[in-house]
Structure 1
């Protein structure tokens, strides 16, 4: 791919992220003002200046947009390298690379994450959507691990590996929110990993 194609692809991705962010902000602002039941997909789309059809290019439901949970699109190079058994060849270290790729984009959702936490407390019905989101991401990561195993690069159970990755991401989200999203999310991830490796030191055999 030449430089112009890379530039064009990058521009499209930035526009998509900006439109998604606008939809999330519109959804959260409206629901904070009116309440969840009083806001429709059409209201959100109109507030963001797009059609309802465009809304569904980004979200499957109103609740998903209101929560504003960040997407888990990983750079194709990161995915390809992981599936092939890289970049280090050590399963845990490679999972951390994937986790880092995911949390690196969290900073862009700082204000949205704050509103999301406030809404989750205000609208308890959103909890089921949060759980469904985590389950869907866990399934996505398990599929990546299955591909890695199929390539002969790993033998760890996909459910266990994807569960560990989600544990890292959940703890980053909780810790980041607890400190009002002030630090770089990757620094928060480093802290979570340090705690985990302190609990289970590398090379430790089961008792």
Structure 2
């Protein structure tokens, strides 16, 4: 029987230190989202975000690479080593395993309503989301390519990332297992639609 990778999601903190890191990250995200919504990306500095989040500017770059990433709550996607190892050894259906790989690697904001409002209010942020998606795909492709050829890996990752976009628009997801199930359901809907 296939085992699943051990993961910790934002709703499953394991240590006091990890909880404090998550609280700091959330404070920076909240401050950036509020300030960028009100003033636009060019009207906000990292120092202002940090002042509102009550952390030092040096701390900011431990969590986000830019003001835009902080406002959108997007992290650089790096597949955890344990998840990559699990995926490489897994023997389930490729797309099902890619759903679990994505769910275990891609962080989703728990405040999607405000993120949607930000993108409507500040459409100049949309290209940053697209860049983040492209970089995320590349990280995932490196892992998926360990089990299949390049074209199949690209198709599988594109399919599951499209499902992720749809899931993110529909509702809040709590935890990795719920996200895996939602991704598989949307991929199933896409397949049924394609063959109808």
| TM-score, with length taken from structure 2 | 0.77
Structure 1: give runs of 5+ residues left out of the alignment. 1-7, 202-207
SS at match of 1:110: coil
Match of 1:95 among 65, 80, 98: 98
**1:44-102, CA deviations, whole angstroms, 9 ceiling, x for partnerless residues?**
01111112121111111111111113564555433211022x1x432112112223335
Q: What does 1:94-113 correspond to in 2, within 5 Å?
A: 94-102=97-105, 106=108, 109-111=109-111, 113=112
The alpha-carbon deviation at position 40 of structure 1 amounts to: 0.7
Higher relative contact order (CA 8 A, sep 6+): 2
For residues 163 and 97 of structure 1, the distance between their equivalents in structure 2, rounded to whole angstroms, comes to 14
* 1:93–1:190 distance in 2 versus 1, CA, 3 Å: closer
Structure of higher CA gyration radius? 1
Match of 2:30 among 25, 28, 42: 25
1:165 aligns with 160
* 1:169–1:102 distance in 2 versus 1, CA, 3 Å: farther
The alpha-carbon deviation at position 32 of structure 1 amounts to: 2.7
Query: Contact 2:29/2:73 (CA < 8 Å) preserved in 1?
Result: yes
Q: What does 1:1-207 correspond to in 2, within 5 Å?
A: 10-69=15-74, 72=77, 74=79, 76-84=81-89, 86=90, 88-102=91-105, 106=108, 109-111=109-111, 113-146=112-145, 148-149=146-147, 154-155=148-149, 157=151, 158-176=153-171, 181=172, 186=179, 188-199=182-193
Structure 2: give runs of 5+ residues left out of the alignment. 1-12
For residues 192 and 133 of structure 1, the distance between their equivalents in structure 2, rounded to whole angstroms, comes to 21
Q: How many residues align?
A: 178
**1:108-132, CA deviations, whole angstroms, 9 ceiling, x for partnerless residues?**
x333x22111111111110111111
How large is the RMSD of aligned CA atoms in angstroms?
Answer: 2.7
The alpha-carbon deviation at position 20 of structure 1 amounts to: 1.1
* 1:17–1:47 distance in 2 versus 1, CA, 3 Å: same
SS at match of 2:132: helix
